[in-house]
Amino acid sequence: MKKPLTIVKIGGNVIDNSEQLHYFLEDFSALPGDKILVHGGGKVATELGVSMGVEAKMVDGRRITDIHTLRIVTMAYAGLINKNIVAQLQARYCNAIGLTGADGNTIKAVKRPVKTIDYGFVGDLDEHSIAVDTISSLLNAKLVPVFCAITHDGDTQLLNTNADTIASAIAVAMSAAYDTTLIYCFEKKGVLRDVDDESSILSEIRLDEFAALQESGVISGGMIPKLHNAFEAIKSGVKEVYIGHADELLKQGAQQGTRLTQ
């Protein structure tokens, strides 16, 4: 039987709220067994850019990571946010180790090819980008990896990378050796039947129900790619995926978000 492994992803809505981050890290520390945290960015990168006079660069509504932006996100994500999360987890006796994909060559991405838009220093990756052996060594040493959304290309270049993608790639890759559960914390309590009614949570969606829920319009908009990616992870070996609010999703015996399974 494989050992269980939980991969949790948090974004700006948790990171930017120090009280919410505090409670989240308390719950995360209390999670039993092997676990990995993946965090996105937050307002601090934007604020840092403003204070340094570097404007966010957009092309056709897409954010571009030029060399100045890459410096800023490296400082904000890999430095300030990652190390403060690690120090806070350590204070809760969770033996966290903060990493970019360059550290231990844990995530080797590819700079996004230029087609119509040059996204700049952005990394694309999949489950084959993940160094399963190195991450397993860290887990076996009773360490808790905390990944920020920076990877590298193996040829000296750091790359800005989507944290959701990192979390699912790690979950899929680690599934060969572990029973993996992937938990996406986001701003809603789960997948809702009625987007304006936080109590209308769908407690479970099976892979074979997904298409029907899309057709009937219950799942629409931004939830479609999110759930599509989650089910792709499940098809590739992840045991289950939870989507919901950080406040509730990690509490023992109170997993009130939406559970996605085969």
Is 58 a residue that touches a copy of itself (CB under 8 A)?
no
Torsion of CA 258, 178, 38, 240, to 10 degrees: -10
Stretch of 94-102, 120-128, 176-184, 225-233 lying at the interface with a copy of itself (CB under 8 A): 94-102
In which residue are the tokens 């992937």 written? Answer: 182
Q: Which of residues 7, 14, 37, 96 is near a copy of itself by CB under 8 A?
A: 96
Q: DSSP letter string over 12-58? A: HHHHT-HHHHHHHHHHHHH--SEEEEEE---HHHHHHHHHTTPPPEE
Q: What is the greatest pairwise CA distance in the chain?
A: 54
Is 80 a residue that touches a copy of itself (CB under 8 A)?
yes
Is 88 a residue that touches a copy of itself (CB under 8 A)?
yes
Is 83 a residue that touches a copy of itself (CB under 8 A)?
yes
For residues 229 and 162, give the distance between their C-alpha atoms in angstroms, rounded to a whole number: 13
State yes or no: 41 annotated in a binding site. Answer: yes
Q: Which of residues 1, 58, 114, 141 is near a copy of itself by CB under 8 A?
A: 141
Is 65 a residue that touches a copy of itself (CB under 8 A)?
no
Is 19 a residue that touches a copy of itself (CB under 8 A)?
no
- Between the alpha carbon of residue 35 and those of residues 3, 15, 202, the distances in Å are 11, 19, 26
For residues 235 and 229, give the distance between their C-alpha atoms in angstroms, rounded to a whole number: 10
**Residues in region 205-224 near a copy of itself by CB under 8 A:** none
Using DSSP's 3-state secondary structure scheme, residue 162 falls into: coil
State yes or no: 82 annotated in a binding site. Answer: no
Q: Which of residues 158, 169, 172, 233 is near a copy of itself by CB under 8 A?
A: 158
Is 150 a residue that touches a copy of itself (CB under 8 A)?
yes
State yes or no: 160 annotated in a binding site. Answer: yes
Site of interaction with a copy of itself (CB under 8 A): 48, 51-53, 71, 74-80, 82-84, 86-88, 90-91, 95-100, 102-105, 134, 137-138, 141, 143, 150, 152, 154-158
